[in-house]
Structure 1
């Protein structure tokens, strides 16, 4: 019989592990729990909690809770920083740098109470709240998802309205409104261009839509001013009587810029982005609606109830018009005979975009 040990049945027994093999065994190294991914998640959670806290504190400027007026201004300052950081992060910019700059401006405004600094903080809050409200949305194919994204944008814009009210800056409303609207549009269009949704790929129809949207916006913005200054007394009186009747009957008056341009464009853009990145151009016009919202309480004499009801009516009408345009848009369907099939598989056709808490590029 050979020197090798055998088991029952004649099979060779497994050799014993040598000491050298045991000593060369290296146990697996555990990954550290605190990673960059965890740090990023903590930052996102912190940004959301800061937004909630700032919103709650800023609301004390429009809800009688017995707190001093300066208390609400701290909430506005916190919201201003959150809006800037959120916009920079979502657009792929340097969130830390812009956050530090916003914090510096807020610090000067809060601790010096200089009128120019408070006005600047109010403008920054209104602009970046309007832009962030649009950027934070996600593409949606179904009506229910479109409405959900629409509501999220309005909630963010509402927090910007509360921030502007809490800043309580001394401003001339018409000039303030135009500055916020122009700057918000410029920032949004710049971001949309950098996202790769440039004019290429739009086609004649897309260019016509953008030109038409710009013309409609100019008409809405200039018409009211032109009528007030150059219109006949009968026309001005008829407009005033209609607005007074709506105010007395419903408590609020829908705002044309929101109903005819901003909100329908936002709804249409959210839906179009589900299959074409050029839908961002429609969303860019949606900032008109969110900018009008954020500036609604900039005037010290603004009636909170009237503004709230006017915004509600504008949001409902704008949503209805946007859904109608969405249903009539031939670009949302390929062929009329495939419409039902496209709707049935809409979830599978959604164009991928980064998550709501991540950068768009």
Structure 2
């Protein structure tokens, strides 16, 4: 081998040795998000196992509280990462407080932890959704959001809170809406980015929310005996013949808003303001779970009916929206879907 050839070979070997650490760093960087997602899933599944063991009377007495605290802490970690918050600070703080609530003998702390966990699950369910071009994918996102919220609701029960169900419902609803609108304010480019259409959506959603809650409360407190009897007779008849009754807030507001919001986010950033009302679909799940009046089969059936009604309304709203934008007929919808290319980070990455 000539000196020139030997020099070239030595140079190539040295270059490969220098490139090897950079390749390893690239592989590690690519694998880190997946490993983090697996860690989050493992922590949540461990928490669920603790809750199931406690419900079945198996294992140590502290299994339920430990599982609930683990889920609360993990949900906080995931939500902080998803919204580009100070994840380490919030995770450590919530982990300490939830551990104190789970293992300490403080009713107020346990109740506060239950409210926080149910609200976290409701908001995280909305935040992990992604934009969708077609309605079928929007329905999938609704199911995912409700599943995340259900785990948070079960974790809330794991704290064994001392609650009034009606107060718990209103408190979690207020906390969830305040938190989700604070986050969406950043994601949706603030109020100035709403536009006329977005403003109509927000005002309309607020009106539906207020009317639904006010009607239920007025009916419960001040409704005439005949009207109350008629309404409850209808609900009882539905439960007797169908096994359950759809939840109005979820069916009329939360599920349609979440499906339409995911559909809108593929086209406009302001779709986040519509998705925010999806909390109306996720937070009521905790109200069913904590209430001793509902069994698990009844809860599942009620949510199934609610999901069917809500998705039907969401489908109608999306079709009306497409018609208003001029996307009529199958060919027009396919052309509109091909143009709906607004990018958004995957569900396992930060939104900002």
Is TM-score (shorter-chain normalized) higher than 0.5? yes
- What residue is the counterpart of 1:5 in the other structure? none
8 Å Cα contact 2:327-2:336 kept in structure 1:
no
Change (3 A) 1:56 1:253: farther
Q: Gapped runs of 5+ residues in structure 2?
A: none
- What residue is the counterpart of 2:51 in the other structure? 58
Q: Deviations over 1:87-125 (max 9, x none)?
A: 111111011111111110121012213211211211111
- What residue is the counterpart of 1:180 in the other structure? 172
1:282 aligns with 2:274: yes
Decide which structure has greater helix share: 2
8 Å Cα contact 1:252-1:310 kept in structure 2:
yes
Q: Give the counterpart of 2:4 among 13, 17, 22.
A: 17
Displacement of 1:345 in angstroms is 6.0
- What residue is the counterpart of 1:209 in the other structure? 201
- What residue is the counterpart of 2:40 in the other structure? 47
Displacement of 1:59 in angstroms is 4.0
Q: Give the counterpart of 1:291 among 283, 286, 293.
A: 283
Corresponding residue SS for 1:244: helix
Name the CA distance, whole Å, in 1 between partners of 2:248 and 2:37.
Answer: 36
Corresponding residue SS for 1:126: helix
Q: What are the equivalent positions in structure 2 for 1:97-112 lying under 5 Å apart?
A: 97-112=89-104
Q: With the length of structure 2 as denominator, give the TM-score of the two structures.
A: 0.89
Q: Give the counterpart of 2:83 among 67, 91, 97.
A: 91
Displacement of 1:19 in angstroms is 8.3
Which structure: larger Rg?
Answer: 1
Name the CA distance, whole Å, in 2 between partners of 1:141 and 1:227.
Answer: 40
Q: Give the counterpart of 1:155 among 147, 150, 164.
A: 147
Displacement of 1:338 in angstroms is 8.0
Q: With the length of structure 1 as denominator, give the TM-score of the two structures.
A: 0.87
Name the CA distance, whole Å, in 1 between partners of 2:35 and 2:330.
Answer: 43
1:168 aligns with 2:155: no
Corresponding residue SS for 1:31: helix
Name the CA distance, whole Å, in 1 between partners of 2:9 and 2:205.
Answer: 75
Corresponding residue SS for 2:283: helix
Name the CA distance, whole Å, in 1 between partners of 2:264 and 2:6.
Answer: 68
Displacement of 1:20 in angstroms is 7.9
Q: What are the equivalent positions in structure 2 for 1:59-78 lying under 5 Å apart?
A: 59-60=52-53, 64=56, 66=58, 70-78=62-70
Change (3 A) 1:231 1:69: farther
Name the CA distance, whole Å, in 1 between partners of 2:307 and 2:168.
Answer: 22
Corresponding residue SS for 1:141: coil
Moved more, 44-53 or 29-38: 29-38
RMSD: 2.5
Q: Deviations over 1:189-235 (max 9, x none)?
A: 11111114323343323212211110110010111111122211101
- What residue is the counterpart of 2:337 in the other structure? 346
- What residue is the counterpart of 2:350 in the other structure? 359
8 Å Cα contact 2:102-2:159 kept in structure 1:
no
Q: Gapped runs of 5+ residues in structure 1?
A: 1-13
Name the CA distance, whole Å, in 2 between partners of 1:23 and 1:31.
Answer: 18
- What residue is the counterpart of 1:264 in the other structure? 256
Moved more, 293-302 or 246-255: 293-302
Name the CA distance, whole Å, in 1 between partners of 2:5 and 2:195.
Answer: 74
Give the length in aligned residue pairs. Answer: 346
Q: Deviations over 1:46-82 (max 9, x none)?
A: 01221222234334566x4755664223221111111
